[in-house]
Amino acid sequence: MNIVLLFLPIALILGFVFVCAFIWVTFNGQYDDLETPAHRILLDDEKQEN
């Protein structure tokens, strides 16, 4: 059997999973603000010393 017949469904399922992940994340509000995260990457994480 041509190996592609195995890859194709896997690729599609993978794609589907990621689209679902995107939908879930969008409804959790991750993409409500598209500008500020671009600035946030410039800030270093500081270790909390407690």
Partner 1 sequence: MISHSDSLQCSVEGKSSVFAHQCLHCGNLLTTEKQKVSRHSPFCCAGCRAVYQMIQSEGLGRYYEIKQQVGWQGSALKSLPAELPDDITHTSLHYLDDPEFLRHYALEAPENSLGRKRMRFYLEGVHCAACVWITEKVEELVPGVASVKLDLAQSLVTVEILPGGSFRAVAEKLIQIGYHPHPIRSQKMEQYQVKENRQWMIRIAVAGAGAGNIMLLAVSLYAGLIETSVDTAGTHYSLARIFQWVSGILYLPVFLYSGQPFFKSAWGAIRSRELSIDIPIVFGIVVGSITSYYNLISGQHDLIYFDSFASLIFLLLGSRFILRRAQQRALTSSHLIRFLTPSCVDRVQPFKNQVERIPLDQLKLGDVVEVSPNTVIPVDGEVVFGESTLNRALLTGEPKLEEVHEGSFVNAGTTNVSSLLHVKVSRLGVETRLGKILSSMEEYLSRKAPIMEFAQEISRYFVVAIFGILIALVVYSSQYGLEVALNRVLALAIIACPCTFALATPFSFTLSLGRLARLGILIKGADVIEALSRVRTIFIDKTGTITEGNLELATCVIDSQHENEIREAVYALEMQSKHPVARAIVHYLEPLVNLSDDHTALQKTEEVIEVLGRGMKGRYAGQDYRIERSDRETPSSEGVAIFRNEIKVGQMTFQDSVRAGSTESIGRLMKLGYQVKILSGDSSLTVRKIAEIVGVPQEQALGELSPEEKSKIVLNSRHSSNLAPSKRAGLTMMVGDGANDAVALAAADVGIAVQSGIELSLRAADGYLLRTDLRLIEKLLAASRETMHVVRRNFSISLIYNLIAIYATFLGKITPLLAAILMPAVSLVLFASALYGTRKMRKEVSA
Kindly state the DSSP code that residue 46 receives in the 8-state scheme: -
Neighbours of 38 (CB within 10 A): 9
Distance, in Å, from the CA atom of 41 to the CA atom of 6, rounded to the nearest integer, reads 39
**Is 10 an interacting residue with respect to partner 1 (CB under 8 A)?**
no
**Is 34 an interacting residue with respect to partner 1 (CB under 8 A)?**
yes
**Is 7 an interacting residue with respect to partner 1 (CB under 8 A)?**
no
Is 23 within 8 Å of 17 (Cβ atoms)?
A: no
Task: By CB under 8 A, name the one of 6, 10, 13, 42 that touches partner 1.
Answer: 42
Instruction: State the residues that interact with partner 1 by CB under 8 A.
Output: 1-2, 4-5, 8, 11-12, 15, 18-19, 22-23, 26-27, 31-36, 39-40, 42-43
